[in-house]
Structure 1
Amino acid sequence: MVDGKDLNRLKVILAEKKKSNLWLSKQLRCAPTTVSKWCTNTAQPPLEKLMKIAKLLDVDINELVRFEELEK
């Protein structure tokens, strides 16, 4: 969470695609704890990783980001 905001929808998209945090961490070759932080919005993935995640999950990058949270 950045300033109390959930900026990404990674956890939701992973559930919709029936993929796990562990699967994603293996695909991205990063620590499972890193993906966990992204899923809980404790931290945000860098843009390059976000683009890779969108490609891996076959979604538009806009589906991963909650732009309305920026307005609050």
Structure 2
Amino acid sequence: MSGKIFNRIKAVLAEKQKTNKWLAETLDMNINTVSKWCTNKIQPTIETLFAIAEALNVEARELLVERKKS
């Protein structure tokens, strides 16, 4: 799993002009956990992904990297 990108949380935070700290406080999560999501070191649970999407006012699918095969 190392080196692969599975989520776009960091990109969406930047698009929304929000910080890791803001997301951590909004979700009542540890800032280190949020940082690991943003660097794709760990992935949030499905439930947490939906909570992140709600906090950022986006669809959950916008937080995921599309994996289409041609």
TM-score, scaled to structure 1: 0.88
| Counterpart check, 1:56 vs 2:55 | yes
What is the aligned partner in structure 2 of residue 28 from structure 1? 27
Q: Deviations over 1:32-59 (max 9, x none)?
A: 0000000000000011110000011011
Q: 1 CA distance for matches of 2:35 and 2:2?
A: 18
| Higher helix content, 1 or 2 | 1
What is the aligned partner in structure 2 of residue 40 from structure 1? 39
**4+ residue segments displaced more than 3 Å:** none
Q: Deviations over 1:9-28 (max 9, x none)?
A: 00000000000000000011
Structure 2 residue runs without a partner (length 5+): none
What is the aligned partner in structure 2 of residue 18 from structure 1? 17
How far did 1:67 drift?
A: 2.8
Q: 1 CA distance for matches of 2:42 and 2:20?
A: 14
Matched length: 69
% identical aligned pairs? 46
